[in-house]
């Protein structure tokens, strides 16, 4: 396949695999895919994903397999709609519709125009302010995909609205407002095969909605034992399972963590990320030995145990396109404490003490005091009205957070595109 502006050609290998009735086709090329992680750095990734986007379309033509809808994800596939409506427009694949999903608008594939023009081989006319051009000197691969896609989706309805505002729009808010007629938001789901407390071999005591209240106590004691925390089933355990980055609201957590340790509360952290947060959570573990445990790692088995053993999970994100941790927590009967942004707002309904409704605790403005207030409201209910707390645990477990609902909505959009 020819790729670059000077006509350089590259081998495109196609490997096919069938699993559980689904056909998967993989694009192979030793020059691009034989080293490093899937995502390394922009210098290497720009050529890699220019090749991948064009090769995927060329492979479909080669196999004479023309889909009704091509669904692309994030900037790595951002050039697929551009290729489809330019270089492939008059080929069989050109009649396909194309949808692109934004998972996190912060990452856009922005690099200088000459580099992307060379590696993509795209015509000059797509490098304009309404398509790929950004700030006059850069090309933005995601922006180009948004321009040429038939439909744009993102991973929650609230986030779809937020990214059209300057604060969340990452310099693309005006572009997204212009294309808002084809923008939709659909919340992600979780894989019930992977996250099922009734069949989870990682747990000391697997459970379902019928016995969650007793079995969570067993899992709490097992978690406390494993992590070196004071063993007491009456302690209120707050979990934080997250990438340790600014986006996740960790400066709010740092600001209030000493106030959480009151003799009745324990905090468990699991994740890796920025050095400043890793070091601060290590410090808190040393300062509050027996009541704080900081697991600066990612261990999926331990994550399962924390979801099952904790009483609450805090997700105080600055922004959160969808968020999966709050969905997993609810499925495990662990009450989420979240900031009202993106998918967190769409999936967690704040507790109403007058009607005993809701499935978590929320706060709106990005302030440490409001996070502390939300946690204190959760602790107050836990310690003073356990009956209502237990009802919320069961409501959370009963809530459908699987892919079932999301898949139906995506199918509806596919049908809309092909009518």
Concatenated DSSP letters for 15-29?
EEEEETTEEEEEEE-
Asked if 171 and 262 sit in the same domain, the reply is no
Residues with Cβ < 8 Å from 243, sequence gap 6 or more? 271, 272, 273
DSSP string, 354-406: TTTB-SBEEE-SS-HHHHHHHHHHHHHHHHH-HHHHHHHHHHHHHS--BHHHH
**What tokens appear for 276 in the block?**
């400043």
Is residue 202 assigned to a domain?
A: no
User: What pLDDT, on the 0 to 100 scale, is given for residue 243?
Assistant: 95
Task: Looking at the structure, tell me whether residues 183 and 216 fall in a common domain.
Answer: no
One domain for residues 271 and 164:
no
Residue 342 is encoded by which pair of tokens? 């993106």
Q: Is residue 194 part of a domain?
A: no
Same domain (yes/no): 225, 361: yes
CB 5 within 8 A of CB 117: yes
Which CA distances in Å does 137 have to 120, 127, 129?
A: 16, 10, 10
Domain with residue 338: its CATH number is: 3.40.50.2000
In a domain? residue 1: no
Taking the model in full, what pTM does it have? 0.93
Q: Are residues 148 and 228 in the same domain?
A: no
Residue 225 and residue 173 in one domain: no
Q: Is residue 269 part of a domain?
A: yes
Within-domain flag for 75: yes
| Under 8 Å between Cβ of 321 and 106 | no
Domain encompassing residue 353: 212-400
Coil, helix or strand at residue 311 = coil
Query: What is the DSSP secondary structure assignment for residue 114, as one 8-state letter?
Result: H
Is residue 197 in some structural domain? no
Same-domain pairing of 414 and 365: no
3-state secondary structure of 335: strand
Question: Which positions ≥6 away from 196 have C-beta within 8 Å?
Answer: 331
- Cα separation of 404 and 142, whole Å? 28
Q: Are residues 183 and 237 located together in one domain of the fold?
A: no
Under DSSP, the state recorded for 195 is S
Beta pairing class for 151-154 and 183-185: parallel
Mean pLDDT by 10 residues, the chain (419 residues): 95 96 96 85 93 98 97 98 98 97 96 97 97 96 98 97 97 98 97 96 97 97 97 97 96 96 96 96 97 96 98 97 97 98 97 96 97 98 97 97 95 95
Query: How many residues are there in the chain?
Result: 419
- Three-state DSSP at 239 gives strand
Q: Are residues 67 and 154 in the same domain?
A: yes
**Do 294 and 368 lie in a common domain?**
yes
Give domain status of residue 350, yes or no: yes
User: Which residue has tokens 């700030």?
Assistant: 135
Q: Are residues 231 and 347 in the same domain?
A: yes
The total of structural domains in the chain comes to 2
Question: In degrees to the nearest 10, what's the CA dihedral of 374, 379, 384, 387?
Answer: 90
- Report the C-alpha gap between 76 and 37 in whole angstroms: 14
218 and 98 inside one domain = no
Report yes or no on 196 lying in a domain: no
Residue 141 contacts residue 116 (beta carbons within 8 Å): yes
Structure tokens at 170: 């990452």
Instruction: Give CA torsion, residues 363, 369, 373, 374, to 10 deg.
Output: 30
Token pair, residue 375, equals: 């946690």
């Amino acid at each position: 396949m020819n790729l670059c502006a000077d006509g350089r050609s590259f081998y495109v290998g196609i490997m096919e695999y069938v699993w559980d009735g689904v056909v998967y086709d993989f694009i192979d090329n030793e020059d691009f895919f034989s080293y490093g992680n899937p995502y390394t750095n922009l210098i290497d990734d720009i050529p890699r994903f220019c090749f991948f986007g064009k090769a995927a379309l060329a492979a479909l033509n080669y196999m004479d397999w023309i889909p009704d809808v091509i669904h692309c994800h994030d900037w790595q596939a951002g050039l697929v709609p551009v290729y489809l409506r330019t270089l492939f427009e008059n080929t069989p694949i050109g009649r396909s519709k194309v949808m692109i999903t934004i998972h996190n608008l912060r990452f856009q594939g922005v690099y200088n125009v000459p580099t992307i023009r060379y590696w993509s081989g795209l015509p000059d006319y797509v490098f304009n302010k309404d398509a790929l051009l950004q700030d006059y000197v850069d090309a933005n691969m995601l922006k180009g995909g948004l321009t040429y896609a038939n439909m744009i989706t993102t991973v929650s309805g609230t986030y779809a609205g937020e990214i059209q505002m300057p604060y969340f729009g990452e310099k693309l808010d005006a572009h997204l407002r212009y294309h808002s007629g084809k923008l939709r938001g659909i919340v992600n789901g979780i894989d019930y095969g992977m996250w099922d407390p009734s069949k989870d071999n990682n747990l000391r005591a697997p459970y379902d909605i019928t016995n969650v209240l007793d079995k969570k106590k067993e899992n709490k004691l097992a978690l406390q034992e494993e992590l070196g925390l004071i063993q007491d089933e009456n302690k209120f355990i707050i979990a934080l399972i997250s990438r340790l980055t600014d986006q996740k609201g960790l400066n709010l957590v740092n600001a209030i963590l000493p106030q959480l340790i009151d003799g009745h509360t324990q905090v468990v952290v699991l994740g890796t990320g920025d050095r400043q947060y890793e070091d601060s959570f290590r410090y808190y573990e040393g300062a509050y030995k027996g009541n704080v445990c900081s697991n600066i790692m990612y261990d999926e088995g331990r994550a399962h145990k924390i979801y099952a053993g904790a009483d609450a999970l805090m997700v105080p994100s600055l922004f959160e396109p969808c968020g999966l941790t709050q969905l997993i927590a609810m499925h495990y009967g662990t009450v989420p404490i979240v900031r009202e942004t993106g998918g967190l707002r769409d999936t967690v309904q704040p507790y109403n003490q007058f009607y005993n409704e809701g499935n978590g605790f929320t706060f709106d403005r990005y302030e440490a005091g409001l996070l502390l207030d939300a946690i204190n409201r959760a602790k107050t209910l836990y310690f003073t009205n356990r009956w209502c707390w237990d009802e919320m645990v069961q409501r959370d477990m009963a809530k459908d957070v699987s892919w079932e609902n999301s898949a139906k909505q995506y199918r509806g959009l596919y049908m809309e595109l092909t009518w």
